[in-house]
């Protein structure tokens, strides 16, 4: 079968300041591995397509190019508005259709979570699989218990912990099972209350 498109959306908001360079390195590695079928965007309070800037073969130079392009890094968080903006652009929405969509974000939406939940549900319908990688989920104590994360969990095919290349590699090893398994099963594996444990 023909390889699927890979769409990566990287959260660059202030709550992820310490993780942003490593998350961009994860996206850079994925782009270098499959440049012809990978697209990368960042979002914080706005949406930026960074595929061309991130394509430099050297990661440090690529991140410098991205830094010059992305104007909302380390700022506020508007995940729902950014995802809705992506989906409202027909050219961008077409990139998600039938693709493996990976969102690198802590999911800490500031404000009404409804736009984020709606956008995630639509992204899930468009894509072949929707995977959410959060640095917070690297902690054994993490639970997707915020209003936004718990409400959007039923739209996710997988929720995993990624904070750097090493943890990304661990999650990549899980992708074949995600891609061949049943859809939208993340909620079955993650409790949303502190007393539970991932199954």
Q: pLDDT tier at 195 (50, 70, 90 boundaries)?
A: very low
- The residue extents of the domains of the chain are 6-189
User: What per-residue confidence (pLDDT) applies to 191?
Assistant: 78
Helix (H) or strand (E) holding 165: helix 165-172
Q: Which residue has the tokens 């309070």?
A: 45
- What is the phi-psi region of residue 184: left when phi exceeds 0, alpha when psi lies from -120 to 50, beta otherwise? left
Cα 64 from chain centroid? Answer: 21
Mean pLDDT check: name the lowest of 22-26, 143-147, 164-168, 190-194.
190-194
User: What per-residue confidence (pLDDT) applies to 76?
Assistant: 86
User: What per-residue confidence (pLDDT) applies to 154?
Assistant: 96
Judge contact between 64 and 84, C-beta under 8 A.
Answer: no
Judge contact between 129 and 183, C-beta under 8 A.
Answer: yes
Q: What percent of the chain has pLDDT above 70?
A: 96
Taking all residues of the chain, what is their mean pLDDT, rounded to a whole number?
Answer: 94
Judge contact between 158 and 182, C-beta under 8 A.
Answer: no
Condensed to tens digits (0 to 9), the pLDDT of residues 61-81 reads 999 999 999 999 998 889 999
How many Cβ atoms are within 10 Å of 2's Cβ, its own excluded? 5
- With a cut of 60, say whether residue 56 has pLDDT above it: yes
User: What per-residue confidence (pLDDT) applies to 196?
Assistant: 45
Residues 6+ apart with CB under 8 A from 128: 4, 98, 99, 100, 101, 179
- With a cut of 80, say whether residue 199 has pLDDT above it: no
pTM > 0.85: yes or no = yes
- With a cut of 80, say whether residue 58 has pLDDT above it: yes
User: What per-residue confidence (pLDDT) applies to 2?
Assistant: 76
- For domain 6-189, the CATH class is alpha beta
Strand boundaries in the chain, DSSP class E: 6-11, 38-43, 47-49, 100-104, 129-134, 158-161
Q: What percent of the chain has pLDDT above 90?
A: 90
- With a cut of 80, say whether residue 135 has pLDDT above it: yes
User: What per-residue confidence (pLDDT) applies to 193?
Assistant: 63
Residues 6+ apart with CB under 8 A from 70: 12, 42, 44, 48, 50
């Amino acid at each position: 079968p023909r390889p699927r498109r890979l769409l990566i959306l990287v959260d660059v908001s202030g709550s992820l300041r310490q993780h942003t360079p490593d998350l961009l390195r994860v996206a850079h590695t994925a782009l270098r591995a499959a440049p012809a079928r990978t697209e990368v965007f960042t979002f914080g309070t706005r949406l930026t397509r960074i595929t061309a800037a991130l394509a430099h073969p050297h990661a440090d130079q690529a991140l410098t190019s991205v830094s010059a392009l992305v104007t909302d890094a380390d700022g506020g968080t508007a995940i729902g508005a950014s995802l809705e903006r992506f989906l409202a652009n027909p050219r961008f929405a077409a990139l998600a259709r039938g693709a493996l969509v990976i969102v690198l974000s802590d999911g800490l939406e500031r404000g009404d979570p409804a736009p984020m939940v709606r956008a995630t549900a639509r992204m899930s319908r468009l894509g072949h699989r929707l995977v959410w990688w959060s640095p917070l989920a690297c902690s054994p104590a993490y639970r997707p218990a915020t209003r936004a994360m718990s409400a959007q969990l039923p739209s996710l095919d997988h929720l995993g912990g990624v904070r750097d290349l090493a943890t990304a590699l661990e999650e990549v090893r899980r992708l074949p099972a995600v891609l061949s398994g049943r859809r939208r099963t993340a909620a079955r594996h993650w409790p949303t209350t502190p007393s539970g444990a991932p199954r």
